[in-house]
């Protein structure tokens, strides 16, 4: 048999035995600049833009006056009584903090007033993987100077996920709280409160809040 009878990916060589540039059979489509080749759920490979990573946030939104209340922990009526109430998703049915959820990431909240007031206090993670957690937060501006809360990312089962961080007023030192959680099947994470000193929560400094979770 002559070598000219050979075909490669259904392409026969020309009379000089040359083949034009081949395309791999198990890669679908053409790549554009900056794209990567990814394995999909059917175990096929194709070129796509940067792969999606699940992420969720709670962030500053719609202030509601300058009144304040003392921070208190534990919240005995909460499923996770030692997790900080990050802020109100709703107060009396009015959205106060913007938030987003994503596949496998769902914000948990304590409900008051028949469910019309909801304070986010944790994140439900479903699906295995490594997640990066960060919290930029501050105690209320009506707190006394030097007021603070010590928090740490933890799972609901008490696994410590990062350093303890002292968070003060927004006009004092701003410290971020970082953690990583390696999830096998599912987990609930939140900001475990270690200590509170003169810290108040008030409703006019929502713009100082950003809680962010991302699958990495």
Partner 1 sequence: MSHNNLKIGSALPDASSSIAVNIEDLNDVSVTSPSENQVLRYLNGTWSNTNLPFESIFIGEGASQDYSTSSASSTSSGAVVEFYDSSLINTITDASVTQTSDWVQSITLGVGEYVVSAVIGLTFSSSSGQALFRIYQDASAVGSQGIVGYDSQDVGSRAEARISITSGTATISVKLTSSTSANSVASQGNRHAERSFLEVRRI
Distance in angstroms (rounded) separating the CA atoms of residues 147 and 149: 7
Nearer to partner 1, 161 or 211 (CB): 161
Q: Which residues of 143-174 are buried (b: 16+ CB within 10 A; e: fewer)?
A: beeebbbbbbbbbbeeeebbeebebbbbeeee
Which of 123, 170, 133, 132 is closest to 149 using CA atoms?
Answer: 170
Q: Candidates 92, 164, 171, 207: give the one binding partner 1 (CB under 8 A).
A: 164
Let me know: does 179 contact 131? Beta carbons within 8 Å: no
List beta partners, residue 200.
70
Contact with partner 1 (CB under 8 A): which of 14, 53, 92, 100? 53
Q: Considering the rule CB under 8 A, would residue 144 count as an interface residue with partner 1?
A: no
Exposed / middle / buried, residue 216 (Cβ in 10 Å: 0-12, 13-18, 19+): exposed
Binding residue (CB under 8 A) for partner 1 from 98, 172, 198, 212: 172
Residues numbered 25 to 44 that lie near partner 1 (CB under 8 A) are: 25-27, 36-41, 43
* The one segment of 22-30, 62-70, 105-113, 183-191 that binds partner 1 by CB under 8 A: 22-30
Q: By the criterion CB under 8 A, which residues form the site for partner 1?
A: 1, 3, 5-10, 22, 24-27, 36-41, 43, 45, 51, 53, 130, 132, 146, 148, 150, 152, 160-166, 168, 172-176, 178, 180, 182, 216
């Amino acid at each position: 048999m002559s070598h000219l009878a050979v075909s490669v990916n259904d392409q026969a060589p020309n009379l000089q035995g040359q083949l034009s540039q081949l395309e791999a059979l198990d890669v679908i489509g053409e790549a554009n600049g900056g794209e990567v080749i990814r394995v999909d759920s059917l175990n096929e490979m194709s070129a796509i833009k940067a792969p999606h990573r699940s992420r969720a946030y709670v962030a500053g939104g719609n202030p509601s006056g300058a009144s304040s209340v003392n921070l208190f922990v534990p919240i005995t009526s909460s499923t996770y009584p030692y997790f900080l109430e990050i802020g109100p998703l709703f107060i009396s049915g009015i959205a106060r903090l913007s938030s987003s959820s994503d596949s496998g990431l769902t914000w948990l909240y304590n409900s008051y007033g028949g469910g019309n007031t909801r304070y986010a206090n944790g994140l439900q993670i479903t699906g295995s993987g490594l997640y990066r957690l960060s919290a930029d937060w501050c105690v209320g501006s009506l707190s006394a100077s030097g007021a603070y809360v010590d928090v740490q990312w933890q799972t609901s089962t008490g696994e410590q996920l990062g350093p303890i961080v002292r968070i003060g007023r927004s006009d004092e030192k701003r410290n971020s709280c970082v953690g990583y959680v390696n999830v096998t099947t599912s987990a609930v994470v939140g900001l475990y409160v270690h200590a509170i000193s003169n810290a108040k929560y008030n409703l006019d400094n929502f713009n100082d809040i950003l809680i962010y979770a991302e699958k990495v």
